[in-house]
């Protein structure tokens, strides 16, 4: 069987035609469509509409968006180009608020811009392209390392529950929470994975179940409200999730519903691990209270995939896209530099120093 982490690349630059190629994650699993984007406006739109989604993939797409947007500038000098760059950066920063990887990638592009001081406009534009490529390449290595560390926590045959999609298509390759599952699969671990469907946008059903099934992993799809019964029945030995932003004290924002899964895991005495590239750890947020939670349109919960209504017209809705899992429910945070344990306010900063 082909390795899915090798065949599916959800975000990459077509170097010859200078365009961003994105796997449209909104039409999976029914269609596999690759979008060809040349304008930063299209990149903004793809991020907002979740055509590209998952914290690391959003950051990578935004970095390419910076390149595409700045490339169009007609500036003659470094200073003029920087003024245009800042407009592009600000525009892309407004696409989604919660995943810190977006801002992390934009800041890294900014840093690279500043390192190029004194260079010609053409050279700076080329440097931005190079930096976006580097961000993508590094993410692949980071995810692999997360997978290797997380695999040390798991034993062959374990039942693993995951929420949302933190797989290969949410990153440059491998995923974060799914990385140890793919690495374990190659080594014959025979995990039994339970994927929460993840209402309202069904990332678990449409993306995680699809990814794992294609990779030949034993995956069982459940509705979100079935997590308790599978835990109670002894089918789950570990929970692995990704994240969108980890605060300094370990509080973690991830897809809506994650905190409920963590509370259940604690109740059933099941370890709950967060897989977090350091680009998702935001030490400037002291606690989860500081994390901006994205609110999304009502139609996401009142209609079947923006189609047929399934709730009364004009019903009041509340649709937060993420929730924060309190650090006390988290057994460990798996980064590319090792596993952080409580107290996270001490262990997380150390991860950056390795
Ligand atoms: O709204 P989404 O689909 O972008 O939310 C994605 C998640 O919550 C993922 O779990 C998280 O970004 C980690 S992806 C490696």
CATH number at residue 164: 3.40.50.10470
Q: Are 42 and 64 in the same domain? A: yes
Q: Are residues 14 and 75 in the same domain?
A: yes
Choice from 205, 243, 260 to test ligand 1 binding pocket (greatest atom count within 8 A of CB): 243
**Boundary residue ending a domain (126, 143, 160):** 143
The tens digit of pLDDT for each residue in 261-318 reads: 999 999 999 999 999 999 999 999 999 999 999 999 999 999 887 678 999 989 999 9
- How far is Cα 121 from Cα 259, in angstroms, rounded to an integer? 47
Residues 37 and 137 placed together within one structural domain of the fold: yes
Token pair in block for residue 104 = 């992390």
Whether 237 and 343 map to the same domain: the answer is yes
**What angle (nearest 5°) sits at the alpha carbon of residue 8, between those of residues 197 and 159?**
40
Indicate whether 194 and 177 sit together in one domain: yes
CATH number of the structural domain spanning residue 107: 1.20.120.420
pTM tops 0.95, yes or no: yes
Region label for 344, one of left (φ > 0), alpha (ψ between -120 and 50) or beta (otherwise) = alpha
Query: Which residue range forms the structural domain that includes residue 106?
Result: 4-143
Domain boundary among 119, 143, 167: 143
Measured in Å, residue 173 CA sits from the centre of ligand 1 at 14
* Max CA pair span of the chain: 67
Q: How many domains does the chain have?
A: 2
132 marked ligand binding residue? no
Q: Is residue 7 over pLDDT 70?
A: no
196 in the same domain as 264? yes
CA-closest candidate to residue 86, choices 56, 103, 66:
66
For residue 264 and ligand 1, the question of a CB distance below 6 A is answered with no
In ligand 1, the atom with minimum distance to the C-alpha of 175 is 15
Q: Is a pLDDT exceeding 60 seen at residue 1?
A: no
Q: Does the pLDDT at position 2 exceed 90?
A: no
- Other residues' Cβ atoms within 10 Å of the Cβ of residue 147: 24
Last residue of a domain, one of 93, 110, 143: 143
54 is in an annotated binding site: yes
Q: Tell me if 211 CB under 6 Å of ligand 1.
A: no
Distance CA 320, CA 256 (A): 7
Q: Annotated active-site positions, please?
A: 244
Q: What's the pLDDT tens digit per position in 119-165?
A: 999 999 999 999 999 999 999 999 999 999 999 999 999 999 999 99
ipTM entry: 0.99
Residues 59 and 169 in one domain: no
Residue found under tokens 């407004």: 94
Q: State whether 308 and 346 are in the same domain.
A: yes
Say yes or no: 67 and 163 in one domain.
no
Token pair of 206, please?
């449409």
**pLDDT class for 40, splitting at 50, 70, 90?**
very high
Phi, psi of 250 (to 5 degrees): 95, -10
pLDDT in tens, 204-230: 999 999 999 999 999 999 999 999 999
Note the pLDDT tens digit of each residue in 158-183: 999 999 999 999 999 999 999 999 99
Residue 256 Cβ < 6 Å to ligand 1: no
Indicate if ligand 1 lies below 6 Å from the C-beta of 170.
yes
């Amino acid at each position: 069987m082909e390795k899915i982490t090798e065949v599916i690349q959800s975000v990459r630059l077509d170097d010859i035609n200078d365009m961003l190629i994105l796997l449209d994650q909104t039409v999976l699993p029914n269609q596999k469509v690759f979008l060809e984007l040349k304008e930063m406006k299209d990149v903004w739109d793809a991020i907002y509409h979740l055509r590209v989604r998952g914290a690391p993939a959003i950051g990578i797409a935004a970095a390419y968006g910076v390149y595409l947007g700045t490339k169009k500038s007609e500036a003659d000098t470094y200073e003029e180009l920087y003024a245009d760059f800042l407009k592009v950066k600000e525009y892309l920063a407004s696409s989604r608020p919660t995943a810190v990887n977006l801002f992390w990638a934009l800041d890294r592009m900014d840093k690279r811009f500043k390192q190029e001081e004194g260079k010609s406009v053409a050279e700076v534009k080329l440097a931005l392209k190079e930096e976006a490529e580097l961000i993508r390449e590094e993410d692949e290595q980071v995810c692999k390392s997360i997978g290797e560390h997380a695999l040390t926590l798991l034993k062959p045959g374990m039942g693993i529950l995951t929420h949302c999609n933190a797989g290969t298509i949410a990153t440059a390759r491998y995923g974060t929470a799914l990385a140890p599952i793919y690495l374990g699969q190659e080594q014959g671990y025979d995990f039994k994975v339970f994927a929460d469907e993840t209402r309202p946008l069904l990332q678990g059903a449409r993306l995680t179940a699809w990814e794992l099934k294609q990779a030949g992993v034993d995956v069982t799809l459940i509705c979100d409200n079935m997590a308790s019964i599978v835990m109670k029945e002894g089918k789950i030995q570990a929970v692995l999730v990704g994240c969108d932003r980890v605060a300094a004290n370990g509080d973690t924002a991830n897809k809506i519903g994650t905190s409920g899964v963590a509370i259940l895991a604690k109740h059933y005495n099941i370890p709950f691990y967060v897989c977090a590239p350091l680009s998702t750890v935001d030490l400037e947020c002291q606690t989860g209270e500081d994390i901006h939670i994205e609110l999304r349109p009502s139609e996401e919960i009142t209609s079947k995939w923006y189609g047929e209504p399934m709730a009364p017209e004009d019903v009041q809705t509340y649709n937060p896209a993420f929730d924060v899992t309190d650090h006390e429910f988290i057994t460990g945070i798996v980064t590319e530099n090792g596993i952080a344990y409580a107290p996270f306010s001490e262990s997380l900063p150390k991860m950056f120093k390795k």
